[in-house]
């Protein structure tokens, strides 16, 4: 006689199924949790196991894995997951754990009968389209194709900080949109990329969206919005992601990892948009006709700053950086250390020289920095000094500390402006603010000093 083992903590369902299976000629055994189910499975060696997913002690995924790991005892058993979960990701995980089939409760005896007779229902995957909400904000700018547009969607560092005390500058993490020479370039994929995605969908309607996301580094505040980037869920769209390999693993692995099932219900591979992840090797590359330079900066792990040579001049983005001179002067004042620090900062100065716009980490003021040495971020005083020395035209203080209220950020802006005034410069300084748009007019294109690869 054919033997089936039912593993389910739902007594009523076990009763219904066993009655039906007995009537269909099966010898039925029952277990009320995964642990008991495993013991029975290895003892009675059934032909078929029906197992629920969500059970006390040992869950259904673990049951599947444990049984498949003991092919010596149960080489051919057929495992059918019977579950209340209709999520695609649970289905895929169950199959990956070793299940042969997946039935969503309530279970129709006819479906089960067909399945046990070998006529299997399709294992179709469904995308959880309802996952992404709708809180759109439409772009207001009237920028034209010949102009360059910069729009801030996320300006906060480290972690999103919604609430009444941050409502003016905004609480979303890093995301800046740059449009130039027909390209849409998205700098980082912090939580600000979510409202950007909704705005793009609204703007493009039925037309396909093609954009490039440049990742500075994979710290959470720079990538955590990507799973909510609506254009990545539409097969019409092409989303290219560029960045450098991280300290421990490649860009693609890190980006995919944050969407693995313990963290998120849809994997990156399941996103229906055309998503292309290209790991950069060269520090000079092009996005369409737009030349871009990269520079590795001082920040834990691998972190990159970018210089986009837009039609309106250089746009430099250095969201996370701890400038060397102040850092080293705190710990070691000997000549060699200070000379090294100076040389590193000068390299950076060269990188941002004569930029039209500089967006740079200004998380603290000098006093606060003294309590955060080695945390990977800079202070307003150094950001202003660097920008002035590099002859930058427009400076945006960026990566605001999560603890800073609107009032405190405004205090930092006042401090920055006082330094500019004192130095007799006309450089414009402001704190990056969600929703701020800057339209730049064409200028003589930047001359790239090195070969574009
Ligand atoms: Zn950051
Ligand atoms: Zn970081």
- Say how many C-beta atoms besides its own lie within 10 A of residue 263's C-beta: 10
Q: How many CA atoms lie within 13 A of 200 on its CB side?
A: 29
- pTM of this structure: 0.78
Query: Ligand 2 centre from 449 Cα, in Å?
Result: 28
User: What is the pLDDT at residue 249?
Assistant: 82
- How far is the first Cα of the chain from the last one, in angstroms, to the nearest whole number? 70
Between strands 394-398 and 183-187, the pairing is unpaired
| Secondary structure tally for the chain: helices H, strands E | 12, 19
Place of tokens 């990056």: 432
Between strands 357-361 and 313-318, the pairing is parallel
User: What is the pLDDT at residue 86?
Assistant: 76
Measure CA 134 to chain center.
18
Query: Ligand 1 centre from 79 Cα, in Å?
Result: 45
Average pLDDT over residues 174-202: 97
Ligand nearest to the CA of 399: 1
Query: Ligand 2 centre from 66 Cα, in Å?
Result: 39
Query: Ligand 1 centre from 57 Cα, in Å?
Result: 39
Ligand nearest to the CA of 191: 1
Query: Ligand 1 centre from 380 Cα, in Å?
Result: 16
Ligand nearest to the CA of 303: 2
Query: Ligand 2 centre from 298 Cα, in Å?
Result: 10
Sign of the Cα pseudo-torsion (422, 405, 159, 428, in order): negative
What is the three-class DSSP state of 2? Answer: coil
Query: Ligand 2 centre from 158 Cα, in Å?
Result: 7
Query: Ligand 1 centre from 158 Cα, in Å?
Result: 5
In this prediction, residue 55 has a pLDDT band, given cuts at 50, 70 and 90, of confident
Ligand nearest to the CA of 319: 1
Query: Ligand 1 centre from 219 Cα, in Å?
Result: 6
pLDDT over 60 (residue 452):
no
Query: Ligand 1 centre from 449 Cα, in Å?
Result: 29
Average pLDDT over residues 196-213: 97
Query: Ligand 1 centre from 214 Cα, in Å?
Result: 14
Average pLDDT over residues 239-244: 96
Query: Ligand 1 centre from 156 Cα, in Å?
Result: 8
Query: Ligand 2 centre from 124 Cα, in Å?
Result: 39
- Say how many C-beta atoms besides its own lie within 10 A of residue 63's C-beta: 28
Cβ–Cβ < 8 Å for 309, 291? yes
Lowest mean pLDDT among 68-77, 79-88, 354-363, 407-416: 79-88
Ligand nearest to the CA of 188: 1
Residues listed for the chain: 453
User: What is the pLDDT at residue 140?
Assistant: 47
Ligand nearest to the CA of 247: 2
Who contacts 236 (Cβ-Cβ below 8 Å, separation ≥6)?
Answer: 206, 207, 208, 209, 273
Q: What are the tokens at 342?
A: 């100076």
Ligand nearest to the CA of 155: 1
Q: List the beta strands (DSSP E) in 229-332.
A: 238-243, 274-279, 284-287, 290-296, 304-310, 313-318
Closest CA to 411 of 362, 376, 360, 361: 362
Between CA 151 and CA 195 the distance in angstroms is 12
Average pLDDT over residues 3-7: 96
Strand order in the sheet with 284-287: 284-287, 290-296, 304-310, 313-318, 357-361, 394-398, 428-431
Rg (CA), the chain: 28
Query: Ligand 1 centre from 400 Cα, in Å?
Result: 9
Ligand nearest to the CA of 156: 1
User: What is the pLDDT at residue 128?
Assistant: 30
Cβ–Cβ < 8 Å for 185, 309? no
The more confident residue out of 92 and 236 is: 236
Q: Map out the domains of the chain with their CATH numbers.
A: 3-124 (3.40.50.2300), 148-440 (3.60.15.10)
pLDDT over 60 (residue 449):
no
Query: Ligand 2 centre from 399 Cα, in Å?
Result: 10
Query: Ligand 2 centre from 157 Cα, in Å?
Result: 8
Between CA 142 and CA 437 the distance in angstroms is 10
Average pLDDT, the chain: 89
Query: Ligand 1 centre from 318 Cα, in Å?
Result: 10
- DSSP letters along 152-179, please? EEE-B-SS---SGGGTTT---BSEEEEE
Between strands 3-7 and 48-51, the pairing is parallel
Query: Ligand 2 centre from 17 Cα, in Å?
Result: 54
Strand order in the sheet with 238-243: 274-279, 238-243, 210-214, 183-187, 175-180, 148-154, 437-440
The more confident residue out of 329 and 292 is: 292
Query: Ligand 1 centre from 299 Cα, in Å?
Result: 9
- Say how many C-beta atoms besides its own lie within 10 A of residue 218's C-beta: 26
What is the three-class DSSP state of 214? Answer: strand
Query: Ligand 1 centre from 448 Cα, in Å?
Result: 28
pLDDT tens-digit map of 111-165? 888 788 765 443 433 323 322 222 233 344 556 667 899 999 999 999 999 999 9
Query: Ligand 2 centre from 319 Cα, in Å?
Result: 8
The more confident residue out of 182 and 92 is: 182
Q: SS3 helix, strand, coil % of the chain, rounded to 5? A: 30, 25, 45
Query: Ligand 1 centre from 11 Cα, in Å?
Result: 50
Ligand nearest to the CA of 174: 1
């Amino acid at each position: 006689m054919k033997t089936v083992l039912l593993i389910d903590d739902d007594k009523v369902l076990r009763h219904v199924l066993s009655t039906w299976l007995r009537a269909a000629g099966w010898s039925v055994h029952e277990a009320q949790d995964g642990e008991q189910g495993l013991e029975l499975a290895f003892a009675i060696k059934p032909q078929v196991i029906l197992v629920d997913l969500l059970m006390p002690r040992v869950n259904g995924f673990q049951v599947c894995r444990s049984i498949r790991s003991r092919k010596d005892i149960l080489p051919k058993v057929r495992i059918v997951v019977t579950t209340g979960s209709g999520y695609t990701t649970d289905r895929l995980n169950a199959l990956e754990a070793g299940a042969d089939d997946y039935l969503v409760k309530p279970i129709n005896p006819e479906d089960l009968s067909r399945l046990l007779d070998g006529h299997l229902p399709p294992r179709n995957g469904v995308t959880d389209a309802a996952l992404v909400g709708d809180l759109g904000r439409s772009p207001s700018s009237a920028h034209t194709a010949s102009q360059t547009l910069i729009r801030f969607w996320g300006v906060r560092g480290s972690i999103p900080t919604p609430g009444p005390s941050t409502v003016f500058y905004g609480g979303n993490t890093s995301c800046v949109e740059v449009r130039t020479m027909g390209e849409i370039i998205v700098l980082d994929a912090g939580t600000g990329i979510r409202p950007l995605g909704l705005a793009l969908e609204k703007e493009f309607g039925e037309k396909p969206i093609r954009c490039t996301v440049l990742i500075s580094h994979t710290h959470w505040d720079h990538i955590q919005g990507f799973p909510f980037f609506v254009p990545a869920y539409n097969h019409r769209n092409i989303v290219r992601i560029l960045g450098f390999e991280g300290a421990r693993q490649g860009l693609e692995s890190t980006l995919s990892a944050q969407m693995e099932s313990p963290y998120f219900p849809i994997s990156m591979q399941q996103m229906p948009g055309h998503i292309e992840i290209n790991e950069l090797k060269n520090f000079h590359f092009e996005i369409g006709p737009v030349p871009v330079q990269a520079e590795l900066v001082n920040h834990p792990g691998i972190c990159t700053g970018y210089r986009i040579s837009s039609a309106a001049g250089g746009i430099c983005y250095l969201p996370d950086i701890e400038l060397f001179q102040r850092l080293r002067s705190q710990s070691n004042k000997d000549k060699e250390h200070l000379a090294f620090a100076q040389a590193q900062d000068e390299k950076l100065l060269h990188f941002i020289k004569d930029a039209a716009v500089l967006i740079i980490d200004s998380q603290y003021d000098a006093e606060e920095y003294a309590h955060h040495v080695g945390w990977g971020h800079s202070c307003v005083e150094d950001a202003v000094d660097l920008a002035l020395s590099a002859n930058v035209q427009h400076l945006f203080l960026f990566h605001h500390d999560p603890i800073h209220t609107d009032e405190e950020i405004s205090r930092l802006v006042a401090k920055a402006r006082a330094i500019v005034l004192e130095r007799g410069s006309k450089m414009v300084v402001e704190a990056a603010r969600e929703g701020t748009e800057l339209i730049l007019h064409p200028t003589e294109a930047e001359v790239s000093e090195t070969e574009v690869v």
